[in-house]
Chains A and B, each alone.
Chain A
């Protein structure tokens, strides 16, 4: 009898364990985020081969980008790397904390060239008229994609779980993961808006 009870309790223990395993495994598998610290060189080279529409707005990323699971839009590590690049490359000197200034605002969710990754990547890589410089020679393709993913997060309408949180700085606006930016807080004075400013 004693043996029987203990073998039953062992079975129950295993069962409960499996249950937990399945449930939390499912939850965590959803958020699985392996870090690619050194991108495969062919994949990195391929990141440059996206195709843009003739007007420079929207287009399609390279096939390999889908094959690696669109990491630059959904992966916390890449987004936080993008946030660091935003600071290191002085994006804030024109775009502020996302509210704009000399350059256009990201926070208002209004995209001069559309919200697609390739548009943003093209803007960073090749530059745009009216003052946006080209960063082609200053950053690697991977870094450009990381930065683009982060910039896309700033103006997103729905907060992303993977978006970075606040920095250890003075707080000027809620963190990226506290979005959606447009609804949550007043964006303040904006920069050039397409309705008022020059055509792209």
Chain B
């Protein structure tokens, strides 16, 4: 033990003593209060992931209801009003409550570990973010249960969602749910950017950052730039509906198309907010299971950034049938096709990695292979619908439904399931079943293709999306019945996945610190990691810090052990700059989230909520930021 002035440092402390002291200062206290006030990124990340998968299961149930209704013509199982709510809930839930949050949740858990730090930046904001997300999800689902779920489609076009046609509070609940999830997403994005820029392990210069971390960094910038557009849109919609403003009223100088532009300026980057993290997951899995680094690291990073930039230049291709100047159509066709270039580059880099490596076909890698097949098919139909004449034909048909399920499920859910299999030992300390994993992959891969490929054909046969039933004279009933049966296979795969995940978390075989022989830093600590992640901060000397012997991983020392402390480093070279205090547990983020929830839900019903509801928010924020009577950096 070293005494440096009045501070306890870890410099020459014995390992056992160091672990004991770090555990004392970093652990989350047990009990309800500890659980509600924790700021540990691993606990919050695990909660986030679990909640997102619950929403995935609920959204999946909705899709099965829709398949039941569409299995035969003129079915009477669900009425038109409930069906409208169901397809709106399915899309909204999957996009806003599952896909984006689950990707960010993986980042909350993994990024601090992968960059070798002890907690995420702004950990209390992180706790706040989770509570906001939970409240938004509950708002939407409770509204649905009491028959007040949104029924205007997941992109809620005006005038259908506007004051004249969207009766009741249904569209307001949709719009306010957006506010909840965007607040939480923006909070995480800021945390990730700061964590990646300022908290990397010493020596992890920009060219040594793992590709998953790069992808989450680019994603976070996308979130920061795209989400404000949708918050402006949803707030304007609520204002139009509640206090009678005229943002979207053409008769008073507003514009209906303004909604579409604002929504898709967010909505298209949203696709990449979901896809880019998947790219990072695929890169991590490919590198591990081919036993070599991903081919073309620089090219991969450049492709990530290029995708991020291009993502903001093609939102109008969602609006080809809204009427555009010819030059606009041509420009957005060109940019839509251009984004296939960086995506293709990434695919070829992975293929080259597999070619040059020695692939081990374990479950995570199987999901990556499935991803490549499905995502390429989805990408090809993407290039098709990027062309205006073709898009005009298939717009709002099941062809589009098939296309975006191929890119979203293929491009995000397959890598995500692979990533769950891959990182599950790190999350829980236990392995998932390899045998069940192969069955699950087979069922989901086959079920997915059998379900969604025929939808291309249905679309070309003219079946519109969002219809609650169809007449027996239409030539669609055979394929629809086939799709509904195939959906059962797909659902069985997911059911098996949930069973395997729950079973493995309780009684799976115990995992070592690095069960896959991977080379990134999250595997340098135990499974699951201790509350302080690393007893001594690792020092990085290459892109693959664990490629050598784990015992020889260089570490930094000199950190205090009598407070939560971590290293900050410079942006480019990650040379250590300072020892920084990391905030301790606090209950105030929960109170602040509750106060914000009160204000946001109340403001659906009365504009005065913004005035009076801000009082409790102010009180909770004052409590949150109340000076502790110690120097600021002591936290």
Q: Which residues of A contact B (CB under 8 A)?
A: 1-2, 4-5, 8-9, 11-13, 15-17, 20-21, 24-25, 27-29, 31-35, 37, 76-77, 79-81, 161-162, 164-171, 174-175, 177-178
Chain B 536-574: CB-based contact to A (< 8 A → 1; otherwise 0): 000000000000000000000000000000000000000
Known: A164-B167, A171-B252, A174-B244. A9 touches B148 (CB 8 A): no
Cβ of B79 under 8 Å from chain A: yes
Known: A12-B35, A28-B148, A37-B81. A77 touches B168 (CB 8 A): yes
Instruction: Point out the residues of chain A lying under 8 angstroms from B528, CB to CB.
Output: 2
Question: Bound state CA distance, A28 and B243, in angstroms?
Answer: 21
Chain B residues numbered 113-159 whose CB sits less than 8 Å from any CB in chain A:
131, 134-135, 138-139, 142-143, 145-148, 159
Chain B residues numbered 488-542 whose CB sits less than 8 Å from any CB in chain A:
528
* A35 → B minimal CB distance (Å): 5
Question: Bound state CA distance, A183 and B218, in angstroms?
Answer: 53
Question: Bound state CA distance, A77 and B168, in angstroms?
Answer: 6
Instruction: Point out the residues of chain A lying under 8 angstroms from B79, CB to CB.
Output: 37
Instruction: Point out the residues of chain A lying under 8 angstroms from B251, CB to CB.
Output: 168-171
Instruction: Point out the residues of chain A lying under 8 angstroms from B81, CB to CB.
Output: 35, 37
Known: A16-B134, A168-B250. A175 touches B163 (CB 8 A): yes
* A3 → B minimal CB distance (Å): 10
Question: Bound state CA distance, A34 and B147, in angstroms?
Answer: 5
Interface of A, secondary structure class, is: helix
The segment out of B24-32, B190-198, B271-279, B291-299 that lies at the interface is B24-32
Question: Bound state CA distance, A21 and B145, in angstroms?
Answer: 11
Contact call A170/B252, Cβ cutoff below 8 A = yes
Question: Bound state CA distance, A32 and B170, in angstroms?
Answer: 10
Residue of B nearest to A29 (CB): B146
Contact call A17/B30, Cβ cutoff below 8 A = no
Contact call A11/B32, Cβ cutoff below 8 A = yes
Question: Bound state CA distance, A80 and B171, in angstroms?
Answer: 14
Contact call B243/A178, Cβ cutoff below 8 A = yes
Question: Bound state CA distance, A162 and B163, in angstroms?
Answer: 12
Cβ of B169 under 8 Å from chain A: yes
* A79 → B minimal CB distance (Å): 8
Instruction: Point out the residues of chain B lying under 8 angstroms from A4, CB to CB.
Output: 30
Residue of A nearest to B135 (CB): A20
Instruction: Point out the residues of chain B lying under 8 angstroms from A174, CB to CB.
Output: 244
Most chain B beta-carbon contacts within 10 A, residue among A8, A35, A81: A35
Cβ of B344 under 8 Å from chain A: no
Cβ of B447 under 8 Å from chain A: no
Question: Bound state CA distance, A1 and B20, in angstroms?
Answer: 14
Contact call B43/A27, Cβ cutoff below 8 A = no
Q: Which residues of B contact A (CB under 8 A)?
A: 27-28, 30-32, 34-36, 38, 43, 47, 79-81, 131, 134-135, 138-139, 142-143, 145-148, 159, 162-164, 167-169, 240-244, 246, 248-252, 528, 590, 597, 601, 605-606
Instruction: Point out the residues of chain B lying under 8 angstroms from A34, CB to CB.
Output: 147
- Some 8 contacts from A to B, beta carbons below 8 A apart, are A8-B34, A24-B135, A24-B139, A25-B142, A29-B146, A80-B168, A81-B167, A161-B169
Residue of B nearest to A37 (CB): B81
- Neighbour of B168 across the interface among A76, A166, A175, A178, CB < 8 A: A76
Across chains A and B, which 8 residue pairs bring their CB atoms closest together, nearest first? A12-B35, A165-B163, A76-B168, A80-B167, A9-B35, A34-B147, A166-B244, A175-B244
Contact call A20/B134, Cβ cutoff below 8 A = yes
Contact call A13/B35, Cβ cutoff below 8 A = yes
Known: A5-B28, A17-B134, A166-B249. A33 touches B148 (CB 8 A): yes
Residue of B nearest to A83 (CB): B164
Residue of A nearest to B31 (CB): A8
* B241 → A minimal CB distance (Å): 5
Contact call A162/B168, Cβ cutoff below 8 A = yes
Known: A35-B81, A165-B164, A171-B251. 4 other contacts (CB 8 A): A9-B28, A24-B601, A80-B168, A166-B163
Contact call A28/B146, Cβ cutoff below 8 A = yes
Instruction: Point out the residues of chain B lying under 8 angstroms from A35, CB to CB.
Output: 81, 147
Contact call A15/B244, Cβ cutoff below 8 A = no
* A42 → B minimal CB distance (Å): 20
Contact call B605/A161, Cβ cutoff below 8 A = yes
Contact call B147/A12, Cβ cutoff below 8 A = no
Question: Bound state CA distance, A80 and B81, in angstroms?
Answer: 16
* A114 → B minimal CB distance (Å): 27
Contact call B242/A177, Cβ cutoff below 8 A = yes
Question: Bound state CA distance, A16 and B240, in angstroms?
Answer: 33
Known: A161-B605, A177-B242. A25 touches B146 (CB 8 A): yes
Residue of A nearest to B54 (CB): A17
Known: A76-B169, A168-B251. A21 touches B134 (CB 8 A): no
* A71 → B minimal CB distance (Å): 12
Instruction: Point out the residues of chain B lying under 8 angstroms from A15, CB to CB.
Output: 32
Most chain B beta-carbon contacts within 10 A, residue among A5, A77, A169: A5
Instruction: Point out the residues of chain B lying under 8 angstroms from A5, CB to CB.
Output: 27-28, 30, 34
- Neighbour of A21 across the interface among B30, B142, B169, CB < 8 A: B142
Instruction: Point out the residues of chain A lying under 8 angstroms from B168, CB to CB.
Output: 33, 76-77, 80, 162
Question: Bound state CA distance, A2 and B430, in angstroms?
Answer: 13
Instruction: Point out the residues of chain A lying under 8 angstroms from B244, CB to CB.
Output: 165-166, 171, 174-175, 177-178
Contact call B164/A168, Cβ cutoff below 8 A = yes
* B272 → A minimal CB distance (Å): 31
Contact call B249/A168, Cβ cutoff below 8 A = yes
* B41 → A minimal CB distance (Å): 14
Question: Bound state CA distance, A1 and B31, in angstroms?
Answer: 12
Known: A8-B30, A165-B242. A16 touches B36 (CB 8 A): yes
Question: Bound state CA distance, A9 and B27, in angstroms?
Answer: 13
Instruction: Point out the residues of chain A lying under 8 angstroms from B32, CB to CB.
Output: 8, 11-12, 15
Contact call A13/B147, Cβ cutoff below 8 A = no
Instruction: Point out the residues of chain B lying under 8 angstroms from A1, CB to CB.
Output: 30
* A87 → B minimal CB distance (Å): 10
Question: Bound state CA distance, A31 and B164, in angstroms?
Answer: 19
- Neighbour of A17 across the interface among B138, B167, B241, CB < 8 A: B138
* B39 → A minimal CB distance (Å): 13
Residue of A nearest to B146 (CB): A32
